[in-house]
Structure 1
Amino acid sequence: MSVLLFILGVLFVAAGIAVSIALHEVGHLVPAKAFKVRVTQYMIGFGPTVFSRRRGETEYGFKALPLGGYVSMVGMFPPNQETADGGVRRSSTGMFQQLALDARQAETDRLEPGDEDRVFYKLPVWKRIIIMLGGPLMNLLIGVVLFAVLLMGFGTAQSTTTLASVSECVVTGSQAAAGQAECTDSDPAAPAHEAGLLPGDTITGFDAKPVTGWADLSEQIREAAGRSVTVTYERGGVEAEATITPLLTERPVTTDDGTVVLDQNGNPVTQEVGFIGVGSQTALVRQPASEVLPMVGENLQGIAGVVINLPQRLVDVAQAAFSTEERDPNGPMSVVGVGRIAGEISSMEEAPVQNRIATLIGLVGSVNLALFVFNLIPLLPLDGGHVAGALWEGLRRRIAKLFKRPDPGPFDMAKLLPVTYAVAVLLMGMSALLIYADIVKPVSLF
């Protein structure tokens, strides 16, 4: 059963990524057609064509390698200046110059009668930017929608006032750091255990005050050290009361998400607060629509941090892959790693089905946000590179107009083909490294 669930999780995320790629290309296709650019192909994948069908002037289909997709538009590069007016093409002595000439000639050869005003390079700068940003913005929209489904439909895991555990004794932060896990005769009894609280009890009041949530209860416990207070709880539908005296004890300092704060030497930071020795159960709590965009913003910020530090992150991945070091769970992963994480989540039979589905939806949403950020990198062949080229052309023309100089014409993106190929090789190398690392040293979130 676990193997089947693992496979279902992988297929769920694989299908989600495939649909996301298809919609990314739709984000380019729709504005291109709206601006009358002739689109010859809309393809999912690369390599040999597996299936295609022509509708109008566009061929829609699937390629053998499902590693992305593309929309092919005529006139991505302006024609060769030497032959644009019917002149004789001059020979070129440079390899890179020849590469640009051949690319421009290939674009010219694709033109058909009537394409003169339907080529990409003749569009106003703002239209080209809309076309190239359409794909990343589609991924952003998908991410927002999925996070809205996650937060508003399923909710986020939050601590509740229902007890998951009741400790028998008090183990200080320093004792826990030293590795003590069992109670000893010298350890004081935990106040909650002495008061008769049991796992499954739901605390409804503390110190004659209603309890609004786990954070509220924790704060009241911390402030009540050394005082005997009344705790009200519900067990099996029956309300009861008990007297409890929180102990002043050393506890680790944690962040809002429960992460233990460490000092410069890597040791837990502790503080003396009231403590009764209980742990809370977690449950999915639905969030209002106002929480969706902040959550998306937090994810985008984290992804942007990874992208900005990508070279160092890749070095860390390589060191981990070829040594005994552990992978950073917050580092980059390939689709293989994402699929493995999805399988692990799906096969966790001890977790409720609702929680597993919610986590998988969040995973696909995060992948879309990562695609949005990554595609904005201003390097060809990424969408951000085309946007940067269009912006540079607009800036050149504005400067020329300001100083009353002749219009410099469209910016020749073909001149950047050597950079494009170099970036493509780097991207393939990065993908190979991440896939290898995800196989031999996978990230483990659990």
Structure 2
Amino acid sequence: MNQDLTEKPETQSADPSQTEGPTLSEARGLGGRRAVELLVVLAVVVYLGYYTHTLPTLAVVAAIVAMIMIHELGHFIAAKVSHMKVTEYFLGFGPRVWSFRKGETEYGVKLLPLGGYVKIIGMSSADEVRPEDEPRTYRQASFPRRLAVAVAGSFMHFVMAFGILLTLLFMYGFANPNVVEIGAVTNFSNLTSPAVIAHLKPGEVILSADGKEVTSGSELANIIGSSVGKPVTLSVQDGSKVIHTSVVPVDGRSVKVNGQSYLPKGSKARGVIGIGIVEGNSRYSFFGALSAAGSDMISFSAQTVTSLASHFSPHGISAYFGQLVHPSTNPASKGAQARFASPVGIVRLASQAAQSGFEAVLALLFSINIFVGIFNMIPLLPLDGGHVVIAIYERIRSKRGRPYHADILKMMPLTYAVIFVLILISATALYLDITHPVGNPFVR
């Protein structure tokens, strides 16, 4: 939501002929030209993305931008349903690039696509509006309606997060250490590996070996290892199909991979077939995924709250500034300390997720939605949580027939302090993302 403390009431010109600004036909022509210009820019971006092989990354970034606008759509819908006047709904900040007006609301795009906003009149007691618009201001709305508008943005993030998590669990299931999945199939340098002969493929799940259920990589290794030269029947799941195939393990001492002996000299005989094993996933039914998504949402949200509290604790602040002062002591790695991400870091994460596959993209979008939804509920202006606290405070202070409006101007020093902290976090996160990037979190 956008809060404008300097908005002044509009005045009517005494002589319509002296009214400045373009005519209706001129405005339509200008809007049409800007729409064409915007489409040309988008076409150029897509063209460059395709030929620089960054189109998947751009698609993920576009999804993140869409999530931001859906956040604002939550505020917009709640305000409209509550009969508040919404004058602007924009993507980005700065100068207008393209816009159009429908009814009382202007919709459009601004130069810097670093967020979005919805402008609702009368967000505070300091806002000046036309007398005839006063009944439709945010401040004159009932407590439930003001509360609904304030929480609507984060609510949309949680709805999106739940939908993404449900899709993730239903499509990919959950990591299960008892599922033995083929991670890689290797051919030997001096002979064709049994796995290649049997047409085994990465992603297939080994269910049993010689009729014995396999629930770990070590169990499979023991069966294969003790069966040199003996056929072993494998039951393998490939998607919805279960196939049965036979492999004959070869002595690992006699084979080579990339010119090197598979087993070191002096090793005991052990059968190998040329596969690498990874932890696989178990699939949910739709209703199983629905139930798991609810519990996982609660768990992940609690972890995010704990993480945020840790970041703003004395120890967390000290550790964060430690990264700024001594970045060389924290080399980029997968296990690097979690921290805030700047737009540069988010684009890097988007690129890494796009390269890792659709599952990683969904995981990234889910995490962003949960984080933004919770972060926005921090009870300080200019965040949405600040508007929630003010609405509750005004409700408590209001007496029968005499609504109380908090003096926003008295809160401005604290609001400016919060804005300063947000700018500081953004600037330092940008510095770290450029000079000290974190490792790829999507590498298995």
TM-score (norm 2): 0.66
Is 1:339 equivalent to 2:347 in the alignment?
yes
8 A Cα contact 2:340 2:425, kept in partner = no
Is 1:114 equivalent to 2:123 in the alignment?
no
Is 1:8 equivalent to 2:55 in the alignment?
yes
8 A Cα contact 2:395 2:404, kept in partner = no
8 A Cα contact 2:180 2:216, kept in partner = yes
Is 1:45 equivalent to 2:92 in the alignment?
yes
- Superposition map of 1:235-384 within 5 A: 238-239=244-245, 280-281=277-278, 285-288=282-285, 289-290=289-290, 291-311=292-312, 312-313=315-316, 315-322=318-325, 323-324=327-328, 325-326=330-331, 328-346=336-354, 348=355, 356-384=357-385
- Superposition map of 1:111-190 within 5 A: 111-156=129-174, 160-164=179-183
Q: Percent identity?
A: 30
- Superposition map of 1:229-240 within 5 A: 233-234=234-235, 238-239=244-245
Call closer, same or farther: CA 1:222–1:388 in 2, change over 3 Å: farther
Is 1:70 equivalent to 2:65 in the alignment?
no
Of 420, 438, 442, the match for 2:437: 442
Partner of 2:109: helix, strand, or coil? strand
State the one-letter code of the partner of 2:409.
A
Corresponding residue number in structure 1 for 2:27 = none
Is 1:388 equivalent to 2:396 in the alignment?
no
Corresponding residue number in structure 2 for 1:29 = 76
State the one-letter code of the partner of 2:415.
T
State the one-letter code of the partner of 2:277.
S
Q: Distance in 2 between matches of 1:117 and 1:428?
A: 35
Q: Distance in 1 between matches of 2:137 and 2:184?
A: 67
Partner of 1:442: helix, strand, or coil? coil
Per the TM alignment, residue 147 of structure 1 is displaced from its structure 2 partner at its CA by 1.8
Is 1:415 equivalent to 2:410 in the alignment?
yes
Structure 1 portions without partners, runs of 5+: 79-103, 168-192, 244-275, 349-354
8 A Cα contact 1:313 1:331, kept in partner = no
1:263-322 superposed Cα distances (whole Å, 9 cap, x missing partner) = xxxxxxxxxxxxx99952455654332322233233322322221122354543443344
Structure 2 portions without partners, runs of 5+: 1-47, 187-193, 250-270
Q: Distance in 2 between matches of 1:23 and 1:202?
A: 39
Q: RMSD of the TM alignment (CA)? A: 4.0
8 A Cα contact 1:206 1:220, kept in partner = no
Deviates more, 1:299-308 or 1:133-142: 299-308
Deviates more, 1:7-16 or 1:374-383: 7-16
State the one-letter code of the partner of 1:440.
T
8 A Cα contact 2:205 2:280, kept in partner = no
Q: Distance in 1 between matches of 2:431 and 2:294?
A: 35
Greater RCO, CA 8 A, separation 6+: 1
Q: Distance in 1 between matches of 2:220 and 2:404?
A: 71
8 A Cα contact 1:77 1:414, kept in partner = no
